[in-house]
């Protein structure tokens, strides 16, 4: 049974992986060892345990359409053919949107093309469908268009060649690749090996060195092809579902990275209450917040202070004990007395609520409110003892730890200490 489950898990994993690759890689196209998308692709030094995405971002390199037949491995296996032979303009290219795919004139010295007579004088020559997928001899001048959208990036091949970088430094070894696709374009983990603080190459590490910017200097993060989201390995800055709650840790660690995309007034607008994001508080939250406050007071306290924010609002709403007589709310804040005070101790009884979250109680009530009922009749209270059965067996340790709560009811702490063990 166990072996069958393992086999099923392996089949599911293989199927999912093939579905992901099928979106961008033609069937039968191998990945070069060490190239993006291949086993052993380089990552960020010192963080090899992190699982990185091995495919370039669609927001940076949009989807391509390559209705072509071409094999890099076969061409590079021929003597004398190099990357520069077909991509001669790459060494002087200074813009990322330069089209560096070779035109037909680069192919014709080796591949004679005769569109009128594909078997001229008995010598085989290249037909259009030798390279163009779906070519129809009935419409010989029409072929499927190759679409390679310009990347949303700043990049200069010339600058990298001048620093001694080779083609394989970024594109991997194409001697084992058939049709090169966007999967053979560099990924950020590759770039960050040089473009990071402390790198031996000392390449600039500012985000705007490579990424496009808005007129005000901030990074452009939204494109027609997708949203530019920080990767998972970037110091906890990946904007996932939990980032709304956890972003403060990332901001405290490296605020300069946040400022590359966000303005300070965006933070201030939310943190000073001028903007209320629905991910924090939905509509009509005023009438719903009581249950959240009871079950997760600590989370409320990460933004709000009970002694100021909660109390002042409750005073204005008339639900606080010291609200003005004219502002008293008509409804009740606590359950009815037969449930909250007089009835049996259930989960809705004030005693159970106080034991569960005393912080919620003290946001409105002081110790004198408790003493009003939980004290001896001689002090003026209602006579309900706050001590459970057997309390005298441990009251001495509590008294020595802090005698302040005891002073609320007991005047002679000396005699109290003699009685407590």
Beta carbons of 294 and 360 less than 8 angstroms apart:
yes
Separation CA 277–CA 262 (nearest Å): 16
Question: Given this model, what pLDDT does residue 212 score?
Answer: 94
**Confidence band of 396 (pLDDT split at 50, 70, 90):** confident
Does 177 have pLDDT greater than 80? yes
Separation CA 196–CA 202 (nearest Å): 7
Give me 59's structure tokens: 């927001």
- Nearest-CA neighbor of 148 among 254, 24, 29? 24
Question: Given this model, what pLDDT does residue 122 score?
Answer: 44
Strands (E) across 248-324 are located at none
- Nearest-CA neighbor of 216 among 152, 277, 266, 263? 263
Question: Given this model, what pLDDT does residue 382 score?
Answer: 57
> Around Cβ 162, how many Cβ atoms within 10 Å?
10
**Confidence band of 352 (pLDDT split at 50, 70, 90):** confident
Task: Give the mean pLDDT of 278-305.
Answer: 76
Contacts of residues 333-341 at CB distance under 8 Å and 24 or more positions apart, as own/partner, are none
> Of 147-156, 272-281, 308-317, which gets the smallest average pLDDT?
272-281
pTM over cut 0.75: no
**Confidence band of 347 (pLDDT split at 50, 70, 90):** confident
Separation CA 185–CA 112 (nearest Å): 30
What are the sequence ranges of the domains in the chain?
A: 285-365
> What sign has the CA pseudo-torsion 373, 375, 379, 382?
positive
């Amino acid at each position: 049974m166990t072996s069958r489950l393992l086999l099923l898990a392996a089949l599911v994993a293989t199927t999912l992986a093939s579905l992901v690759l099928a979106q961008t890689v033609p069937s039968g196209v191998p990945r070069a060892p060490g190239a993006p998308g291949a086993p052993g692709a380089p990552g960020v030094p010192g963080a090899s345990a992190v699982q990185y995405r091995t495919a370039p971002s669609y927001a940076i390199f949009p989807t391509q359409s390559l209705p072509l037949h071409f094999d890099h491995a076969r061409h590079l296996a021929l003597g004398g053919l190099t990357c520069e032979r077909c991509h001669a303009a790459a060494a002087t290219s200074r813009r990322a949107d330069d089209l560096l795919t070779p035109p037909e004139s680069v192919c014709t010295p080796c591949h004679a093309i005769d569109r009128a007579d594909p078997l001229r004088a008995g010598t085989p020559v290249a037909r259009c469908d030798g390279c163009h997928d779906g070519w129809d001899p009935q419409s010989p001048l029409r072929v499927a268009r190759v679409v390679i959208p310009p990347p949303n990036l700043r990049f200069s091949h010339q600058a990298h060649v001048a620093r001694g970088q080779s083609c394989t430094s970024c594109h991997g070894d194409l001697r084992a690749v058939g049709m090169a696709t966007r999967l053979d374009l560099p990924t950020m983990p590759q770039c960050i090996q040089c473009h990071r603080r402390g790198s031996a190459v000392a390449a600039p590490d500012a985000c705007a060195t490579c990424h496009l910017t808005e007129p005000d200097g901030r990074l452009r993060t939204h494109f027609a092809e997708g949203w530019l989201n920080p990767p998972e390995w970037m110091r906890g800055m990946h904007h996932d579902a939990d980032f709304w709650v956890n972003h403060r840790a990332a901001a405290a660690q490296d605020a300069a990275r946040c400022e590359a995309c966000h303005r300070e007034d965006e933070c201030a607008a939310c943190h000073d209450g001028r903007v209320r994001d629905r991910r924090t508080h939905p509509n009509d939250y005023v009438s719903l917040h009581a249950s959240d406050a009871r079950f997760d007071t600590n989370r409320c306290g990460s933004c709000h202070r009970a002694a100021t924010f909660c109390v002042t609002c409750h005073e204005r709403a008339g639900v606080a004990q010291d609200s003005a007589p004219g502002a008293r709310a008509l409804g009740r804040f606590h359950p009815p007395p037969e449930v909250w005070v007089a009835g049996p101790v259930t989960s809705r009884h004030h005693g159970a609520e106080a034991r569960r979250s005393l912080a919620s109680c003290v946001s409105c009530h002081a110790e004198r409110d408790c003493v009003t009922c939980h004290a001896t009749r001689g002090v003026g209270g209602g006579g309900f003892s706050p001590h459970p059965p057997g309390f005298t067996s441990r009251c001495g340790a509590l008294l020595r730890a802090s005698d302040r709560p005891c002073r609320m009811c007991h005047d002679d702490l000396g005699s109290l200490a003699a009685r407590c063990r």
